[in-house]
Amino acid sequence: MPQPLKFYEMFNLTGQRIRNEPSDLIGEKYNQELFIAIFWEETFFRNMVQDSGWDAGRAVGFGQVQWALVNKLMGTHYQQPKQAVLADDELSVDVAIKAILETDRMTKGNKLAALKRYAGGKTPPWMATSDALKKIPEIGNYWEISETDAAKNKGAIVAALELTRKDAIISKLF
């Protein structure tokens, strides 16, 4: 199993990829903190293949997008889309961004319905984590966070992430 990215690495990578996305919906309606919550809940910040559940092996990346949809979402022709995502952390984030945009389109702009659809029909707790992260000054106002600032805000970050999912792996993030 791949090692998780550190919180600051995941936050900075997500911020970089969001800034590269031309859609106005990304960064405003679907913000960086929301993607952090999704990536935490889905994979604990690991770029990996889904390893459990009824559809084990069908989803890939930080955001656990169905790998069969990668080429459609990205407008690409990867021979092995699953391997392409696993080999490229930037692509992994980009695929999740495109998947959220697609679910937003499918739900006619209804954010809660889009997130629920992305989450496989359940109502995800991601908004609570997103809101809590945005309240941390070093996070809520910036695209990037230093390793030092992440460590300094460890308590608040952990509390925010645990609104979505609790796990001992959280100690490896700082």
Q: What is the pLDDT of residue 123?
A: 86
Mean pLDDT of the residues in the chain: 95
Q: What is the pLDDT of residue 156?
A: 98
**Rounded average pLDDT over 41-54:** 90
Amino acid (one-letter) located at 105: R
* Tens of pLDDT, residues 64-96: 999 999 999 999 999 999 999 999 999 999 999
Hey, what are 101's tokens?
Answer: 């945009």
Hey, what are 16's tokens?
Answer: 């970089």
- Tell me whether strands 59-60 and 65-66 are parallel, antiparallel or unpaired: antiparallel
Q: What is the pLDDT of residue 87?
A: 97
pLDDT at 30 over 90: yes
* pLDDT band at 53; cut points 50, 70, 90: confident
Has residue 109 been placed in a domain? Answer: yes
pLDDT at 51 over 90: no
pLDDT at 164 over 80: yes
The C-alpha R_g of the chain, in whole angstroms, comes to: 15
Amino acid (one-letter) located at 12: N
Measured on CA atoms in the order 12, 58, 169, 84, is the torsion positive or negative? negative
What range does the domain containing 94 cover?
Answer: 7-173
Has residue 158 been placed in a domain? Answer: yes
Has residue 67 been placed in a domain? Answer: yes
* pLDDT band at 59; cut points 50, 70, 90: very high
The answer to whether the CB of 12 falls within 8 A of the CB of 56 is no
Has residue 1 been placed in a domain? Answer: no
> Domain total for the chain?
1
Residue 14 sits in a domain whose CATH number is: 1.10.530
Between residues 109 and 27, which one has the greater pLDDT?
A: 109
Q: How many CB atoms are closer than 10 A to CB 137? A: 11
DSSP state of 173: G
**Rounded average pLDDT over 146-174:** 96
Has residue 2 been placed in a domain? Answer: no
Q: What is the pLDDT of residue 85?
A: 98
Give bridge partners of residue 59 from the DSSP assignment: 66
Q: What is the pLDDT of residue 57?
A: 79
